[in-house]
Structure 1
Amino acid sequence: MRAFQPSYAWDCFVASDPDLSRLKMGLRALLGMGLTLVVLAVLGQLLHQPTSLGMVGMMVGMMTSVSVQDPLPPQERITLLCVPGVAAAAVCLGAISAPNLVVSSLLFLGVTFLVVSARRFGPRGTALGTIAFMTFFFALFVHASAAQLPWMLASVGVGSAVAFGVRTWLIPERALSALRRTLRVYRRSISLLLAELAQVLPSQEGRRREKRIRRAFRWVNEGAMEVEQHLERVPPEGLAPGLSKEEIRERLLEMELAAERLASSVYQGLTQNGLTPSERQDLQAKVATLWRESRGIHSPPAESGPQAIASQDASAAATKIESALNKLREVMARPFGAHSGARPSHASGPPLPPQEEAAEEAGPASKPLKLHASTRQAIQATVAGGLAMIAGHALSSTRWYWAVVASFVVFNRASTRGDILLRAWHRALGTVVGVMAGLLLATVVSGHRDIEIALLFACAFLGFYLLRVSYAWMVFWFTTLLVVLYSLTGRYSPDLLYLRLWETLAGASIGALVAVVLLPSRTRVRVWQTSADVLRSVASSLDVVAAPPGPTNGRLIVERVRRIDTQLREVRESARPLIDRMFFVGQDTRRLVHALASIAFFVRHLEPLGPLSTTEENALRMTAAGLAEKARMLASVLEEGGTGLPPDLGVTPPQRLEDKPPGNAKTPPPLSLWLERIDAALMELHDLIRGIHGQKEDSTAHATSLPSR
């Protein structure tokens, strides 16, 4: 049903970059490099200075425009003001040490250690460290001398000023406009989910259908989290009168849950073959109608025909989908700020007991102090840099720095052994493909100066625009940029590209080898630690269900859900090297992430206790408390590396959940159904951990739900 064509494609594009952060990054790099180059070209002609030495300013303008990632504008401006001093110091150090190979090499290693260690100070330390490394490297690259320092320092000042102007005035971060945009994109992500559901309803696909639903709903979840991030940066007085941040958060969650329930209902109806062909056709038409309403498209009059859903003969699956669809329509039609009592909270008292809050934030206090992650990485990067120097000199005495830079960048924004190996692979892959593309490109555009200049800026933009999509894409475009730059300056030769290829492969391989051998941080350990955080947050949410009734606190519910969402995202990020690598597939890790996503899905739908008998209410509270203890026990087992796992988790107190309390002739309340599924998912997770440790894995019930996000 891709009659949605242009609007569908546009929604996909918009949902992939909700706040335009990738587009902004590419444009900032483009403007930072381009404006600095123009200013330096004019000043170079007036002062009779070579353009090559002024390129350090162009690098500062480009790197500063994209490297500064402080969350708030005041913090960002402080970092931007620190850039000239840090870059100038690095350039001076490099120019003074450049004549002596031994001294410059030792200082290079010292700078590497310091800039990687600076990552412990957060975004500011990471940005300033990266700029210091690149400017020191450039001073060695051009063999700068003390006599050339004034012009190089002037170019650093120009690049810093341009970057400040780009970040502050040309493409600033405006919290309120970003919030408004992400809210619009959030509604479009729900429209995308509706479009996908309308397409899968009549289809007989299996695996592909699941992937499409999962991808579409992940856009919804990621969009909600983007709104949350920008909402934190907006002052309360910036919102519309009568609208509070808490109301926006509650509405976001309400819309997300309504969309999630619809997707889950469709997925269950399709996988269980609970829909007749006529019901599929009728539901597809109704989902498409809601899609058109969400996009502001006029819906044509409905054709007369059998009303499969309205009849008493409708299947339970169709009725459930119809109900979820009506609920989503109702929620989407309500403007922000309209009060909704659809999801009252069942929380009472403080969010967490003080001792548990401290434990969640600081982690177990009984563990001995370990080497700080940034210090460990600094040691690894320094050793890798030293070995890369030796290998680089063996390949070329004049181009050895390519190997050093390759060994350094594989440690950038990587925390585990798997992350580093994945970045090394992307670095090598991007360089190989980039060199092949560069050889082809050089034969086509060589001699066409205007085309070469245009390609230079296009490669810089695409490299930074695609950085968050794949590191390999960034390496590819920057390798192509280097080819164009050499062609533009008349230094291009195939042998030079082949040398860069071998130097990069040597540096990336050394970085990967050092990450495996020296002070390694295992990816699986990181995955299990982040998984334990998810389970503890799940236990805290179950504690809220088990708590005695009290005053409502809607904000508490939203905060707990978003905490689990954020932690689940961290699990996926840390598990990516084990799941997405090309030659080995970590099925156990994939199943672990799926099990945690299922548990998070069930917890998000826990409803408050309605009017129940005292016996039933107490039974449900005791059940929630028992499940919370199970989640905490599994979290402790994961943190300890799987040791101390009991043979089974036992029966959830006080009884089997499907056994209804006496005197209740109706079906169990929705809360008990979600608690049943949480219990089954925790059992599945328990058996999975047993299987990972080579123990006998029992068969477990697999709860049907929306596929893992």
Structure 2
Amino acid sequence: MPVPLRFWRDRLVASDPGLARLRMGAWAVLTVAAGSAVLLLAAHLLGVSSNIALMGAVVGLMTTITVQDATHAEQQRTLAASALVSGVTVVLAAALARSTLTSGAGFVAVVVAAFEARRLGPRAASLGMMACQSYFYAVLLQPDAAGWPWLLASIAAGCAIAWLVRFVVLPERAPGVLHSELRSFRAAVAVLLHQLAAWAAAPDDERAERRARATLADINDLALRIDARLARFTAQDPPAAMQSLRDRLLAAEIACETLLAGIGESSGASATARGALASACRALCEVVHGDARLAPQAWCAQVAATAGALDADWRWRWEHAGEVLGAQPPWSAALPRLRDTTVPATPPQEPRPPPQQGRRRWLADEPTRHALQAGAAALVAVLAGHAISAEHWYWAVFGAFVIFTNASTRGQAAAGAWRRVLGNVAGLALGLLLAELAQGDWPLQLALLFVFIFAGFYAFQGLQAIYIALLTAMLAMLYELLGKYSPGLLVLRLGETLTGAAAAVLSAILILPSRTGEQSDQETVALLREAARLLRSAFEGSLRGSPTDAVRDLDRRLQALRQALGPVTGRELPAYASRHRTRLQQMAALVHCVRHCCNLLALKEGGWREREDLRARADAVAENIGRVAHALARPGLVPALRELPAVAAGPEDAPDPARIAAHWLEEADAVLRQIHQGPPTRCSPA
């Protein structure tokens, strides 16, 4: 069946929540275009070196990806500090450029200071990244140290142009971003419904199932992103709109999970029954698009037609899911008017591996450990890079630095190095091809340069390999415009980058190593304990705050585990860790069960919530969760799991909330027993 054009439009809208990527690409192009034009013209009129002008334009461009604060006020403070830090760093790099020894020592010192600064918070981490990139581009462009007043003025002007582009020409407003994110959420739901219809029609198609589950994970990430924005900003009238929208987002997300789980349950049904499921998904997709209204009776009749694929309980759940997505979706709610100020809150703790036994306290400190690893990698990269090329050694140092910006374990460092190698190889091929085609045609070279800048910064969030490839191609065009291009130069850059990647991996393995499995176990234990607490509180009626807040805390624990294991589970890796993928799947399944139990308790009022047999089963599952968490926290301990008490069965011909809750508890316990079996589910020491 041909895929409708609207499906691809929805995919495009869902892939860029809040137009963040499009905005970043536009910021980058406008900043570098305006900065280059203004500063090169000023340099020509004042008789200053063009390298000084280019330095200011590049610093302004880098603020696009380094200044990522929540509000305009915070962004402006970080941008102002970036101008100061970059100016000092560039002048230092220009002063130390007399020899490779002094320049390399300065680069290593800046790298160590940048990673140590992470202990001071996100702003200090951004400024550290800005300092390293400024030092690198100063070594690349080689501005004259004697012209340091003009150098500082150029950097200040470049940051001022970046400020105008960011806050005047293309400002980012919290209400507009929220509206765009909800639009992306709606498009993602429509994409999922289309994929579910395709999966229902072909239940044996593993790719269709994989695509649907990937889209569901994207919906969860987007819902968490919107929920974090709502929780972070203060709201004006209407006062209840904030919590109402958060509740609707969670309900819509759980409705999507319900629909996907129902398709999975129907895999053994007849073709006619599966066709009814596909028709129901397509009809609901039309409602989500706004092409039709959800008529409760018509929707119930469509769900009733799936009797050969779904039992009474599942049909009841599907009816409620359709009502949530069709009658009370988050995109139709009254939006709160967000102010550009944030609610003071304790910043969430980043996932960190546990301290290693036997280390001194200062060596067990995460920023210090990371700084020592990055500094050692930078030092090795300086020496090895200089052995390859005395003029272009800095590429090796920059390659090692970039890998450590997103890696804290040796497995994450190896995965980041591999992706960087792939991106550079692809960018080298693209750059060589286009440089030869555009040779001598400077208007085409200039156009391609801006195309690569826009596309590269568009891909910066979430598409790092593509970003690296486009950055390499962009450098080919820049070298061509500056008259320095040669195929051998790009090949040399690839060799230096490979050297830096190897230095980073060796440093992560040999210098105070931390295993991905340790970090995974730590995040898994935190997630399990949160799930046990939530399950007990939900059935005892002792939740603190709203149920949405409690469920979102559990979701963020799962998100932290995904961030810890995500770098090492990609299928593009030479030997991706299937055990890490198994761990993620198991934890996602457990969170799925607990979320649906809590949602069911919130939906249905009545005496079934106080049934002692159901509460006893929930207590047994919560205790088993705690025992598994204790076993992971103390390797070698294998506690026995409790058997679940029986729950009195209700009538099979009618939906029974107690039976549905008992089913989710049983599914959660089954996942726990898989984890409890041992080595196949524990993370490998990567």
Q: TM-score, normalised by structure 1?
A: 0.85
**1:566 matched to 2:552:** no
CA distance in 2, matches of 1:361, 1:423: 17
Alignment of 1:542-691 (within 5 A): 542-547=535-540, 549=541, 555-580=545-570, 582-606=573-597, 607-608=600-601, 610-612=605-607, 617-640=611-634, 642-646=635-639, 648-652=640-644, 655-657=645-647, 668-689=658-679
> 1:247 pairs with 225, 244, 264, which one?
244
Residue matched to 1:268: 265
Per-residue CA deviations over 1:308-345 (Å, capped at 9, x if unaligned) read 9657x9436165565444323322343579999xxxxx
Q: Return the offset for 1:206.
A: 3.6
SS of alignment partner, residue 528 of structure 2: helix
Question: Aligned-pair distance for 1:535?
Answer: 0.6
**In the alignment, what sits opposite 2:253?**
256
TM superposition shift of 1:287: 2.3
Give the Cα–Cα distance (whole angstroms) in 2 for the partners of residues 433 and 29 of structure 1: 22
Secondary structure of residue in 1 paired with 2:485: coil
Instruction: Provide Cα deviations, 1:521-559, integer angstroms capped at 9, x if missing partner.
Output: 111111111111211110111121342x47x87x53111
The answer for the alignment partner of 1:434 in structure 2 is 427
Matching residue within 396, 409, 412 for 2:389: 396
Counting matched residue pairs gives 655
Give how far 1:202 is off. 1.8
Q: Residues 64 and 666 from structure 1, CA distance in 2 versus in 1: closer, same or farther, beyond 3 angstroms? A: closer
Whether 2:532 is the aligned partner of 1:526: answer no
Give the direction of change, closer, same or farther, for the CA distance of 1:244–1:361 in structure 2 (3 Å limit): farther
Q: CA deviation at 1:670?
A: 2.5
Q: Say if 1:89 and 1:578 are closer, same or farther in 2 by CA, change over 3 A.
A: closer
Residue matched to 1:25: 24
| Residue 425 (structure 1) aligned with residue 418 (structure 2) | yes
Identical residues among aligned pairs (%)? 31
For residues 605 and 98 of structure 1, do their structure 2 counterparts lie closer, same or farther at Cα, with a shift above 3 Å needed?
same
Q: CA distance change for structure 1 residues 428 and 365 in 2, over 3 Å: closer, same or farther?
A: closer
Using the alignment, how far apart are the partners of 1:362 and 1:522 within structure 2?
11
Is contact 1:431-1:475 (8 Å) kept?
Answer: yes
- One-letter amino acid matched to 1:429: L
> Helix, strand or coil: the match of 1:410?
helix
**Alpha-carbon distance in structure 2 between the residues aligned to 1:28 and 1:314:** 53
After TM superposition, the structure 1 = structure 2 runs for residues 91-490 of structure 1, keeping only pairs within 5 Å, are 91-237=90-236, 239=237, 241=238, 243-270=240-267, 273-274=268-269, 276-297=270-291, 310=304, 314-315=307-308, 317=310, 322-335=315-328, 369=361, 371-490=364-483
Q: Which moved more, 1:370-379 or 1:400-409?
A: 370-379
CA contact (8 A) 1:423 1:471 kept: no
Partners of 1:15 and 1:36 in 2: CA distance: 32
- CA offset digits 1:97-117 (Å, max 9, x no partner): 222443333222211110121
Cα distance change of structure 1 residues 267 and 509 upon mapping to structure 2, 3 Å threshold: same
Cα distance change of structure 1 residues 522 and 21 upon mapping to structure 2, 3 Å threshold? same
- Partner Cα distance (1:13, 1:338) in 2: 18
Q: Which amino acid aligns with 1:564?
A: L
Structure-2-length-normalised TM-score:
0.88
| Structure 2 counterpart of 1:74 | 73
Which consecutive unaligned segments of at least 5 residues does structure 1 have?
Answer: 341-357, 695-709
SS in 1 for 2:404: coil
Q: Matches of 1:160 and 1:94 in 2, distance apart?
A: 19
Decide whether the 8 Å contact of 1:189 with 1:223 is kept in 2. no
Q: Is the Cα–Cα contact under 8 Å of residues 36 and 159 in structure 1 kept in the other structure?
A: yes
Contact 2:56 / 2:159 at 8 angstroms: preserved in 1? yes
CA separation of 1:143/1:683 partners in 2, compared to 1, >3 Å: closer, same or farther? same
Residues 427 and 475, structure 1, Cα contact 8 Å, conserved in 2? yes
Note the C-alpha offset of 1:451.
Answer: 0.7
Q: What are the superposed Cα offsets for residues 347-366 of structure 1, whole Å, 9 maximum, x if unpaired? A: xxxxxxxxxxx999999999
* Alpha-carbon distance in structure 1 between the residues aligned to 2:118 and 2:605: 49
d(CA) in 1 for partners of 2:503, 2:41: 42
* Cα pair distance change 1:6/1:362, threshold 3 Å: closer
Partner of 1:491: helix, strand, or coil? coil
Whole-angstrom distance in 2 between the partners of 1:338 and 1:157: 42
Q: What per-residue deviation string (whole Å, max 9, x for no partner) do you get for residues 457-492 of structure 1?
A: 111121221122332211111111111111111111
- CA deviations over 1:277-311 (Å, ceiling 9, x no partner): 32233332232222112212369x9xx9xx89657
- Greater radius of gyration (CA): 1
> In structure 2, what is the Cα distance between the partners aligned to 1:87 and 1:94?
10
Q: Are the aligned partners of 1:175 and 1:233 in contact in 2 as well (CA < 8 Å)?
A: no
- Relative to structure 1, is the Cα distance of residues 450 and 318 closer, same or farther in structure 2, using a 3 angstrom cutoff? farther
| Counterpart amino acid of residue 22 in structure 1 | R
Following superposition, the deviation at residue 201 of structure 1 comes to 1.8
Cα distance in structure 2, aligned partners of 1:16 and 1:668:
38
Partner amino acid for 2:506? L
Letter of the 1:329 partner, please give it: G
Deviation at 1:452, TM superposition (A): 0.5
Alpha-carbon deviations, 1:165-208, whole Å to 9, x = none? 22222333311111122222222222222111222222242422
Q: Counterparts of 1:364 and 1:139 in 2: how far apart (Å)?
A: 37
Classify the secondary structure of the residue corresponding to 1:235: strand
Secondary structure, in 3 states, of the residue corresponding to 1:24? helix
Three-state SS of the structure 2 residue aligned to 1:19 is helix
Segment of structure 1 superposing worse, 427-436 or 517-526: 427-436
> d(CA) in 2 for partners of 1:253 and 1:309?
22
Task: Confirm or deny: 8 A CA contact 1:57 1:159 kept in the other structure.
Answer: yes
| Distance verdict in 2 for CA 1:611–1:433, change over 3 Å | closer
